[in-house]
Amino acid sequence: MSPAVIKIVRVGTWTLIGILAVLGLLTAGTAVVLPALVAIGVGAVVGWALASRHSVWMAAGLACACGAGVLAIAGLAVLAGPATVVAAPAVIAPLLWTSRAHTRTRTRTRAAAAPVAAQAPSSLANLSNAQLAREWHASYNALAMARDLPSMELICALRRRQLDEIERRAPGDFQRWISSGSWVRGDSAPFLGG
């Protein structure tokens, strides 16, 4: 699932939860405020405990989500009645689904970027022209798959080292290659004779 689809589903689901929370607050009134406050307190404590560095933002985010959840369930009860038991998980499911998809995408991107970005400058000098061309193309593909900033930075650093190595091997051909624009799409095999 693409990051754009994940974002659309998450924003849409949170919008629905917000609308249901407003409906719950309007219809249930003060009767739902105390349960919402308890949920906010529990969410803050759990968020603080789950955060790896005791993040205030994580605690605040989970507190807001819990409070909105209680209010949304009250609003959903107004609309669905007894079917709220079935409808509430259906409202939350897209958030869980996109969260897992986002985590899988991030993990795949980091796994693909790690071997590509791990090459040291000295190991590039030991490659043949054909091998360097393949590494240049592989780093292009890894950069295209990267979805988070740390992975992109690692791959860009590797591509800078690769460009330095290509220029070191044939400075004149390198300038013609850069001028041609072929390097942008990762096509270095003709230039390197590979």
Report the pLDDT value the prediction gives residue 179, as an integer from 0 to 100.
Answer: 79
Share of the chain above pLDDT 70, in %: 79
Burial of 33 (0-12, 13-18, 19+ CB in 10 A): middle
φ, ψ dihedrals at 188, nearest 5°: -120, -5
The identity of residue 20, as a single letter, is L
pLDDT at 103 over 70: no
pLDDT (tens digit per residue) in 12-59? 888 998 999 999 989 988 888 899 999 989 888 888 887 766 678 778
- In the structure, what pLDDT confidence band is assigned to residue 122 with cuts at 50, 70 and 90? low
Contact 194, 173 (CB under 8 A): no
